[in-house]
Amino acid sequence: MFARSIEGQELTFGVSGKLIMNAVVLYDHQTETLWSQFLAEGVQGPLTGVRMELLPSQLTTWGAWTAQHPDTLLLDRGFGLFRSDRYEGYYASSRAGILGERNRDDRLPTKELVVGLRHGSDVIAYAYRDLAEALVLNEAYDGEPIVVTFDPDSRAAAVFERTVDGQALTFEPGERGDATTMRDAQTGSLWSTAQGVALDGPLEGAQLAQLPSFVSFWFSWSDFYPQTAVYQ
């Protein structure tokens, strides 16, 4: 998800029909610049080299989302809420997009889902299989303490800064069998893994800042960022 106000101008976007290494290329109606969805950057036209601001977002299930946000406003374009997914067969297959892999990287399986972080040349990927095992990972990224969370039921991952009022918190999974919560070791406060808000304890009501991240197949992430580190 991106902010579409760029260099003081509000842009509207469409799909160009082009691909760069299997990833969608957008265009804006105002300048007709082509934009790489994956790089969040203009690649051809007047705004070439300009970056779009990546906004924090989350890939989750409808059930998990409405449980957290029961008053959600839903965009319905008249296709029906539970239309079948035309890409379901592709997700289950071993095919790497339409064009195949450009830079085969065997550190992870081709279609492994990863959460990717990018800041300048600092790039790292966290495999879903590792997140599903740990549920909560205390990490440092770009010199800042972060926590990466995962809920196996909704397969939702999120990345937050883990510093509150100048104190770096260390998290562990919350109540036994409940991947939707985590607890910090410093105050014992209970937190939501999806929203990064303290639900109970001395820090009740405190909010962790969510960081922008990508959810991607490994082959695509490693094609665009061959220099990426991988969490181990």
Assess whether 194 and 143 both reside in one domain: yes
Q: What is the pTM of this model?
A: 0.88
Q: Which helix (H) or strand (E) holds 89?
A: helix 88-92
Assess whether 117 and 185 both reside in one domain: yes
Q: Residue 191: which domain range?
A: 56-232
Q: Is the pLDDT of residue 89 over 90?
A: no
Assess whether 17 and 103 both reside in one domain: no
Assess whether 122 and 75 both reside in one domain: yes
pLDDT, tens digit, for every residue of 132-189?
999 999 999 988 999 999 998 899 999 999 999 999 999 999 877 688 899 999 999 9
Is position 50 within any domain? no
pLDDT band at residue 83, thresholds of 50, 70 and 90?
Answer: low
Q: What percent of the chain has pLDDT over 70?
A: 96
Q: Strand locations in the chain, DSSP E?
A: 5-6, 9-10, 13-20, 23-28, 34-36, 41-44, 113-119, 122-127, 136-141, 144-151, 156-161, 163-164, 167-168, 171-173, 181-184, 190-192, 198-200, 214-217, 229-230
Tally of domains within the chain: 2
User: So what's the pLDDT on residue 94?
Assistant: 82
